Amino acid sequence: MKILVVGGGGREHAIIKKLKENPAVEEIFALPGNGGIAADAVCTGIGAKDLDGIVAFARENGIDYAVVAPDDPLVLGCVDALEAAGVPCFGPRKNAAIIEGSKVFSKDLMKKYGIPTAAYEVFSDPAEALKYLETAPVPTVVKADGLALGKGVTVAMTREEAFGAVREIMEDKKFGASGDRIVIEEYLEGPEVSVLSFTDGTTLVPMVSSMDHKRAGDGDTGPNTGGMGTIAPNPYYTEAVAAECMEKIFLPTIRAMKTEGREFRGCLYFGLMITKDGSKVIEYNCRFGDPETQVVLPLLESDLLTVMQAVTAGKLAECEVKFRDASACCLVLASAGYPGSYGKGYEITIPENVRHNVYVAGAALKDGKLVTSGGRVLGITAVADTLPEAVKGAYALAEQVTFGNKYFRTDIGRRALDCQRQKSQGL
Ligand code: AMP
Ligand code: GLY
């Protein structure tokens, strides 16, 4: 089989490595891929948002199956375009990807179907939003309606911060048309859990739970990033929480989407907060998370391509999806300065014995050498029987990879380990 994977980050590298485990896979093309992915797939340089280019490539190269991984092409309708060209795809169609593409849509969906989430108001007029904020409780959360490279959310601890966020999004148009409308929502507290799921629109199978670490600095300080590391499974996601989420959130969400005529097929990502009043949805993503995928897929025991094809065919109920009873930790090695400005072009050395564990996110090939080209350069994942071993293993591997300006958090997994310790002491 010839497979096409749209995207070019660590998540896509993890998907590609997993797909390659199936012997029926002859060739994988990454659109665009990156310098590190080039070791595992043919990288094409065709951009993930170039729908015409993607469809033309699929036609010319006799692609049998496509996986569309990033949010932008999904929201733009990449799956619809490929399907129209006769290429079966993993990923939601445009009318279902809106669950991530519009926060107003997802909040209204949850309200209509009684799915637990933070209370909210929607505004399309900045003056009205600012007036509302004069008396709204703080902290509060301001969210741009549309996609904003993961930067559209401000958790405002003060009224001034909230005013600033509204002005930036709606008046300065920091995220363009994504900020034509905003959601202002109730501030929730509690541990966060990411749950990725496979769903064909009727059946939903949650993957192993995970925990992201979004802030740049140790102790969850500094600016928000795309994610500095992940662990799986997430110890806050107990069996009781899992059962509650399945009954009150996961199944109601896919049923709601079906009822709305927007059947969701692909990976549906639930960003959850476990609050005192139960589990609530913080956000939906219409795709695999990054860097959650880099801990979730290494724990998948079943064949990824088989599961994906079952999702596409609407036959997930007939497919076994098994995860290893083990733990994983992914450390993101970044360029110092990220998510602000940072230097690029430093040579990366990855010893042979570590290659298997590395998912490259921001690197290019220059004169045959791999050099840094992005803020998040690569992720390193260790899998072990226990979480403490996985965390230790990932840090040991990270020491062996070198490049100029290398930066990583030194406390990935600490909260999870504390939670595990407390649980084992019956606290
Ligand atoms: P997002 O960009 O949607 O992933 O949101 C970024 C982060 O903002 C989330 O991971 C949460 O930590 C935080 N956040 C979003 N919504 C809320 C909320 N209603 N209350 C508290 N924190 C929130
Ligand atoms: N790691 C969060 C996301 O993929 O949106």
Q: What is the pLDDT along the chain (427 residues), one digit of tens a residue?
A: 999 999 999 999 999 999 999 999 999 999 999 999 999 999 998 999 999 999 999 999 999 999 999 999 999 999 999 999 999 999 999 999 999 999 999 999 999 999 999 999 999 999 999 999 999 999 999 999 999 887 889 999 999 999 999 999 999 999 999 999 999 999 999 999 999 999 999 999 999 999 999 999 999 999 889 899 999 999 999 999 999 999 999 999 999 999 999 999 999 999 999 999 999 999 999 999 999 999 999 999 999 999 999 999 999 999 999 999 999 999 999 999 999 999 999 999 999 999 999 999 999 999 999 999 999 999 999 999 999 999 999 999 999 999 999 999 999 999 999 999 998 888 7
Nearest ligand to residue 230 Cα: 2
**Shortest-distance ligand to the CA of residue 11:** 2
- At residue 79, the pLDDT reads 98
- Dist. CA 134 → ligand 2 center (Å): 31
How many Cβ atoms sit within 10 Å of the Cβ of residue 97?
29
| Separation CA 64–CA 106 (nearest Å) | 32
65 alpha carbon – ligand 1 mean position (Å): 34
Pocket test for ligand 1, best of 106, 155, 215, 273 (most atoms within 8 A of CB): 155
Alpha-carbon separation of residue 185 from 105, 124, 153 (angstroms): 14, 15, 11
Sheet of 278-285, strands arranged across: 204-206, 192-199, 266-275, 278-285
Q: What does the pLDDT read at residue 424?
A: 87
Beta strand pairing call for 27-32 and 42-43: parallel
pLDDT confidence of residue 224:
87
Atom of ligand 2 nearest to the CA of 150: 5
- For ligand 1, atom 1, the nearest C-alpha belongs to 153
Answer for the pair 262, 253: CB distance below 8 angstroms, yes or no: no
What pLDDT does residue 323 have?
98
Distance 44 CA to ligand 2 centre (A): 25
pLDDT of residue 118: 98
Per-residue model confidence as pLDDT tens digits over 44-95: 989 999 999 999 999 999 999 999 999 999 999 999 999 999 999 999 999 9
φ, ψ dihedrals at 425, nearest 5°: -90, 5
Residue nearest to atom 3 of ligand 2 (CA): 289
Instruction: Determine whether the shortest distance from the Cβ of 117 to ligand 2 is under 6 A.
Output: no
CA-nearest residue, atom 12 of ligand 1? 192
Q: Residues of the chain with pLDDT > 90: what percent?
A: 96
Ligand 2: atom nearest CA of 11 is 4
**CA-CA distance, 95 to 263, in Å (whole number)?**
8
Q: Is 2 helix (H, G, I), strand (E, B) or coil?
A: strand
How confident is the model at residue 45, as a pLDDT? 87
What is the C-alpha radius of gyration for the chain, rounded to an integer number of angstroms? Answer: 21
Rounded to 5°, the CA angle 226-227-228 comes to 130
Nearest Cα to 120, choosing from 266, 360, 392, 111?
111
